[in-house]
């Protein structure tokens, strides 16, 4: 989480946004990139969503919603 917050902080310091909608859009895209495309060493070099999908397969009773991996096709 600290790395993600650092990335957002860097973007906020170096980027001018014309509107709150532009900022919101950037945050949405950055969060999607982080969760679906950037493997994390602490998670065994898989993405956070891949880790959630594995937990879902092992313990579906813990989830209220399905976990979708937007980086590619779900199997």
What pLDDT is recorded for position 14? 92
What pLDDT is recorded for position 75? 55
For residue 66, pLDDT beyond 80: yes
Domain boundaries, the chain: 2-62
What pLDDT is recorded for position 72? 64
Q: 49 near 35, Cβ under 8 Å?
A: yes
Q: What is the pTM of this model?
A: 0.71
CA pair distance 29, 45, nearest whole angstrom: 21
> What residues contact 36, with CB distance under 8 A and at least 6 apart?
47, 49, 69, 70, 71
């Amino acid at each position: 989480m600290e790395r993600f917050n650092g990335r957002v902080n860097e973007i906020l310091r170096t980027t001018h946004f014309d509107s709150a909608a532009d900022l919101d859009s950037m945050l949405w895209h950055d969060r999607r990139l982080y969760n679906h495309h950037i493997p994390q060493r602490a998670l065994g070099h898989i993405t956070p969503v891949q880790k959630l999908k594995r937990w879902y397969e092992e313990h579906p009773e813990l989830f209220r919603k399905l976990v979708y991996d937007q980086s590619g096709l779900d199997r």
